[in-house]
Structure 1
């Protein structure tokens, strides 16, 4: 048998995927944001309307402006607490030349024209640029029969495309908005060569009301914002279609933010605890979601292949899992190690680090021990439960000289970003341990801006893609879908409703994590062809090859949904 280290498949994917349900008892981009008197939404939408290209560097990646000192990375990029003297910025306002006041033209003689968008629309416009490409793609990809036909068949838009169109229309027709009223589009309006259905136009209108309500909150026009939010909440529901559910959860977060701004009633909650608890499902629900959604499966199989390759010559494997959850990744790893023909594994040690629910960790440990017995090899399971990661020490892990140590960090570091001391302590402890490999999975999004409007727009497009994935993959699994969307709702609340130290997690992109890890003398290692093959195999098995993507970003991999990055996975070693 060929060694798994050089095997094109690495381990039996189908067998492991099919075995998920049989496990029995017996979850730094630290880009410096522009804090001048501009609104992020305005700049992005303006560039979209003017069809301005987004600048790219020689590696075909969006240019980043990283004008901060390297030594102060944590202070400047992890904390991101706004200047208390800085005024709240509007989400959207047309801008006049020079330093004149901002006004909206309401001439009854001239037809309304799109106002010249200020630079602050750049963020939303970069998202909307796909709408133009969508129209061109539909035209160029149409058959000759379709091109010559006088009728055009409607094509259903994705959730994210609905939101993009809403942003485009909101800028183009912003001069027609008067308080809580605006001129709706024709019920069968057309974009490019696509005719939109009545339902799609209603969804676009609903998304425009959501944008307008965030706009008014950013402008501190709270009475108008409240009226718009009532419209959003009246026309949305967590039981509606995908756009209605998305708007429902965002409007709830905006409502809480509004209440905080005006001193209204807000339920006192511990954000850190709420976020951790919201991410918990019962075991059966977690398995059901895991089997249907691509993201976790792809990342786990890619990560497991990388872990297996870097401990291929060792017989005593020690896995430090910083986010064990229900133990699904550890289950895959054990089965992969059990299939190893050369140098059979003598012992697997799993140390789960947690500061949330000890009960969940203990239950996962019992399942893993039971599963290891079915594979007939030895396992030692241990939990390191600390109230704060600053309490973590090297001797908690009981590492022996002949242990091959591997670290797996699934969506864990982002929760520590608001606490730089905790994050620094964790990295210092891991550096002393010096594992053979550290696999890091994080959300590939910039939700760490000090400006509310920036976070709102970034999160709106990110979660529109995520909700679209849920609708596609869990369409018939209503209970599982609602539970998962409730978890995402808590994440939306954390980004949109809260500020400063109240926020329990900070999502940043891979290029920022690279600079952060460099402070601890870590270097990135490339994933093998076998690892990439494992990820693509999962996507193919789920039948999502055309819409779920696995792309390279340097030496890391980015998993996305219909062109929107969702997660990054990277592998690291210590010098």
Structure 2
């Protein structure tokens, strides 16, 4: 047990930084990280259907009738229903935003809440009710299956104290509630006095109130875009762009990038972006950029906790499964810069019980062969410095349908591990290729499959559902950036403007085949993996120990939260899940498998 629980301090990431960036730093220990069970942070976590569709249905106050949110509700539903069914197999799973109330009953309940500040920019009679107040779950005690969030410094339950600094996500939720109030019908004074939300808003600081107002403008503009009221949306976006900034506080930054994405969506729908201009805008290749060790990516890796925590926990899981093997073969579905394998090498040197004969890494790629080869050269150099026998193979294919077991040159005595970091999501819109690669992996029958994916739900065919999901997710992400990197950090500015901005634009502004960013949550992957007889295995105490230990080293990472979702780990920020880490194996005993 002592051997299993050894920390990664003996092969800390500092050495890797010296090798890859020529810059090391010391870290001080912080006591305690609480691992707790996952809860649904947005109410029940389930949307409400109207007629069994993915449509968001609202009431036109002036006409007393219902209407569908936008034309893409219908178009995207037809395009995506087949893909979602293929992904989920015979199981049904709600891939819509839990933040949108889609029944008339939910809309009628809004009458219980009095109007807040008069929404002076638009006539409320011309608009529907795009959000659910109950599902926004403003602040205070979050329920964790009967447990309250525990303050990690004191071990006692805590709630948001009035006047305390609000997170970016909480600002967005408050803006949503205030936006709903601005559209609700006026009620009598007694009801207003009894309503807790007006009192809550009145307790905001001046800065928080400005942030809430700015976020409210953004939500209103998204509602107008969804209804194709582009002229009104443009006027609201003028306010957003005037008051936001890519160098301001997290709320201002989030609004800045989401406003840009809404502008692009308007331009696309009104024909201002021609196919030729669209191709020019796609000249920045996000996937290719992520494969290089540029300063912005390395800085984010060093300063933002999510990837490092997932790497250390995932690598520990691999080490445990191949601990007795003398020949280890790693199949990386998308290697990118490969920094995680330097962690593995140090772990093998420290923990491996027998002399290692060979560590082989096979990296799959369909483009950017030179970049993959550069990654291989860096890893080869690092392996030589650790005296590890090392082999690196690039498995280039033009199409994932061409991937075959024979391409990996598997040895009879090799212990095979498959590593999929933020890769499977790329194939969600290509279900035949996703199925194909899973069948190949099943035939290989690896000792372990480690999967790291974004824990978000950005695959809804509904534009407004996707917008709200993305807004809350990236609000938490920008909050983390603000805690871990300076606001004037050039690397942070590049990461936000180049990488995160690209994701936001793709989620918000594009439809159909152009929409590549299609995150789904862990429950969806569970349903999908079950079709291939994959069995979820529990992350060991050693893996969780590595995650806790890493978080304890840096004080500004104290808001990074670890939640267990069944047997898998959710890595989040202030309780909002950001990434999932899960470990799997194939059950060869199930009938019907080759």
Contact 2:58–2:107, Cα closer than 8 Å, also in 1? no
In 1, distance between residues paired with 2:399 and 2:256? 34
In 2, distance between residues paired with 1:265 and 1:459? 23
Deviation at 1:500, TM superposition (A): 2.1
Contact 1:131–1:164, Cα closer than 8 Å, also in 2? no
SS at match of 1:23: helix
> Structure 1 residues 422, 289: closer, same or farther in 2, change over 3 A?
same
Which of 509, 521, 527 is the matching residue for 1:515?
Answer: 527
Which of 436, 439, 462 is the matching residue for 1:425?
Answer: 436
Residue 371 of structure 1 corresponds to 382
In 2, distance between residues paired with 1:206 and 1:551? 31
In 2, distance between residues paired with 1:70 and 1:283? 36
Which of 195, 198, 205 is the matching residue for 1:197?
Answer: 205
Deviation at 1:285, TM superposition (A): 3.1
Residue 258 of structure 2 corresponds to 250
Summarize deviations over 1:339-363 as a string: whole Å, max 9, x none. Answer: 1352121110011112342222111
Residue 546 of structure 2 corresponds to 534
Deviation at 1:419, TM superposition (A): 0.8
Deviation at 1:248, TM superposition (A): 0.9
Deviation at 1:90, TM superposition (A): 11
SS at match of 1:320: strand
In 1, distance between residues paired with 2:581 and 2:319? 16
Residue 238 of structure 1 corresponds to 246
In 1, distance between residues paired with 2:142 and 2:320? 41
Which of 511, 514, 524 is the matching residue for 1:502?
Answer: 514
SS at match of 2:335: coil
In 2, distance between residues paired with 1:420 and 1:96? 36
Deviation at 1:167, TM superposition (A): 0.8
Which of 255, 259, 271 is the matching residue for 1:263?
Answer: 271
> Structure 1 residues 81, 529: closer, same or farther in 2, change over 3 A?
closer
- Which 5+ residue runs of structure 2 have no aligned equivalent? 23-39, 60-80, 119-123, 152-160, 187-196, 588-594
In 2, distance between residues paired with 1:288 and 1:78? 40
Residue 131 of structure 2 corresponds to 121
Contact 1:91–1:218, Cα closer than 8 Å, also in 2? no
In 2, distance between residues paired with 1:510 and 1:256? 30
Which of 310, 319, 322 is the matching residue for 2:321?
Answer: 310
Summarize deviations over 1:59-92 as a string: whole Å, max 9, x none. Answer: xxxxxxxx9999844589999999xxxxxx9999
RMSD over aligned Cα atoms = 4.1
In 2, distance between residues paired with 1:93 and 1:368? 58
Deviation at 1:435, TM superposition (A): 0.5
> Structure 1 residues 94, 499: closer, same or farther in 2, change over 3 A?
farther
> Structure 1 residues 176, 261: closer, same or farther in 2, change over 3 A?
farther
Is 1:446 equivalent to 2:454 in the alignment? no
Deviation at 1:291, TM superposition (A): 1.2
In 1, distance between residues paired with 2:391 and 2:446? 18
Residue 176 of structure 2 corresponds to 167
Which of 12, 29, 39 is the matching residue for 2:8?
Answer: 12
Deviation at 1:231, TM superposition (A): 1.6
TM-score scaled by length of structure 1:
0.78
Is 1:559 equivalent to 2:571 in the alignment? yes
> Structure 1 residues 95, 74: closer, same or farther in 2, change over 3 A?
closer
Residue 164 of structure 2 corresponds to 155
Bigger CA drift: 196-205 or 419-428?
Answer: 196-205
In 1, distance between residues paired with 2:54 and 2:130? 5
Bigger CA drift: 528-537 or 73-82?
Answer: 73-82
How is 1:280-319 mapped onto 2 (pairs within 5 angstroms)? 280=291, 282-319=293-330
Deviation at 1:265, TM superposition (A): 2.6
> Structure 1 residues 130, 196: closer, same or farther in 2, change over 3 A?
closer
Corresponding pairs, count: 503
Residue 69 of structure 2 corresponds to none
Q: Which runs of 4+ in 1 moved over 4 A?
A: 29-33, 35-43, 67-72, 74-82, 89-98, 117-120, 131-134, 270-273
Deviation at 1:126, TM superposition (A): 2.5
In 2, distance between residues paired with 1:256 and 1:91? 26
Residue 329 of structure 1 corresponds to 340
Deviation at 1:541, TM superposition (A): 1.0
Residue 461 of structure 1 corresponds to 472
In 2, distance between residues paired with 1:280 and 1:78? 35
In 2, distance between residues paired with 1:403 and 1:238? 49
Residue 192 of structure 2 corresponds to none
Contact 1:335–1:375, Cα closer than 8 Å, also in 2? yes
SS at match of 1:339: helix
In 1, distance between residues paired with 2:562 and 2:282? 32
In 2, distance between residues paired with 1:402 and 1:531? 26
Contact 2:261–2:508, Cα closer than 8 Å, also in 1? yes
Residue 400 of structure 2 corresponds to 389
Deviation at 1:164, TM superposition (A): 1.1
> Structure 1 residues 278, 264: closer, same or farther in 2, change over 3 A?
farther
In 2, distance between residues paired with 1:71 and 1:457? 23
Residue 64 of structure 1 corresponds to none
In 1, distance between residues paired with 2:10 and 2:295? 20
Residue 206 of structure 1 corresponds to 214
TM-score scaled by length of structure 2:
0.75
- Which 5+ residue runs of structure 1 have no aligned equivalent? 44-66, 83-88, 99-103, 109-113, 141-151, 178-188
Contact 1:447–1:508, Cα closer than 8 Å, also in 2? yes
> Structure 1 residues 71, 153: closer, same or farther in 2, change over 3 A?
closer
SS at match of 1:559: strand
Residue 415 of structure 2 corresponds to 404
In 1, distance between residues paired with 2:223 and 2:551? 38
> Structure 1 residues 272, 435: closer, same or farther in 2, change over 3 A?
farther
